[in-house]
Structures are given as structure tokens and as C-alpha cells.
Amino acid sequence: MNVFRLRRVVVLLLVLTSAPAWAESAADPATVRSALNSAETWLHEIDAKKYDLSYDQGCEAFHNKVPHDQWVTILKAMQPTFGELVSRKLSSYDYQPDGYQGLQGECMVIKYDTSFSKIGTDIEVVVMKKEDGVWRGAGYNSQPQGDADEDTSGPINQQTEVHQEAVH
């Protein structure tokens, strides 16, 4: 499976069941910090090849859409193709208080400018969903910046309110 086909498979891991609920509301700073911290923890689990743990940290909707063995297989196939993480910088986030792409409840769509040792600069998109007071992984996509004109991420490119600042 070539890297571009693999990336398209990964984009299918995003929960794509219905149109998103676009909201005009912004999240409070504590909510943003919490979601971003959870997303970074989830990404660090993936980077450290702790695929089982990363799966366990996914939300219920993620588990319903992606079987454990499929998640692990895809991540194991991606790692040698992408290489090791070189850098990751928050690019933007989009708070969706009423759901996102079929997910009900609070969601955060987070983009990172990321560099991997074998593929260079990349855009990572992480979808987090708040479940029982905890932000959990709901979707992951990685796309080369050179492919930014090609829409492989669904409604991500149609978002209305995107925040560029990092909140720490």
C-alpha cells in the first residue's frame, strides 16, 4: 500500500456519518487547554508506538467505527513510511460545542504542522470528543502539505471559525 493510499485510509478513521453542526460559539480557555493537552497526549501515545493505549483513549464513537486490530494495523503501517517525529506545532483549532461529523456533544478539531523524518512537512488533523468530562480521540488524519489543495479531509476545509493562537 503506497503512502498516499494509506493516508486516504487514515482519513476514513475520522468519524464520517453525517454533516457537521457548525457553531458560532467559542470555547473558554480552560476547555481549549484541556482538549489540546488531551490531543497532545493521544499523539504522544501514537508517536511512542503505544497503539493499544491510544486505542483505549479513543471515544465510544471511535471504537464503534474502528476496530482495535484495524487501528493498530494502520498505525504500524504508517510509522515506517512516515519515520520518526521531527517536530509538531499547533496550527489551529476549531471548537464544535454541538458535535462534528455525526459525533454528538463537544468536539475540537485540531490541526498541527508536523514534520516526520521520511516525509517532511505534514498537516495532522486530530478530532477530540468530550465524553464523561474527558477529551478522547475521535479521529486522526495526516496529509502532506503539498496536497493541501486536494480535499481529503472532508468538511475540515469548510470550517467557519478557526483559531490560530496556541493556548497553554
Query: What pTM was estimated for this model as a whole?
Result: 0.74
pLDDT attached to residue 40: 97
Give the CA distances from residue 27 to residues 16, 36, 108, 128, in Å, rounded to whole numbers and listed in that order: 23, 12, 9, 14
Contact 135, 58 (CB under 8 A): no
| Lowest-pLDDT choice from 24-38, 100-114, 126-140 | 24-38
Distance CA(101)–CA(12), nearest Å, equals: 12
C-alpha R_g of the chain: 15
Please state the rounded mean pLDDT for residues 91-116. 93
Tell me the pairing of strands 85-96 and 134-144. Answer: unpaired
pLDDT attached to residue 142: 86
CATH numbers and ranges of domains, the chain: 3-146 (3.10.450.100)
- pLDDT tens for 112-128 read 999 999 988 889 999 99
pLDDT band, very low/low/confident/very high, at 2 (cuts 50, 70, 90) = low
Contact 105, 129 (CB under 8 A): yes
Helix (H, G, I), strand (E, B) or coil at 1: coil
Side chain identity, residue 79: Q
Side chain identity, residue 142: S
Q: What is the DSSP string of 51-84?
A: HHHHHHTB-HHHHHHS-HHHHHHHHHHHHHHH-S
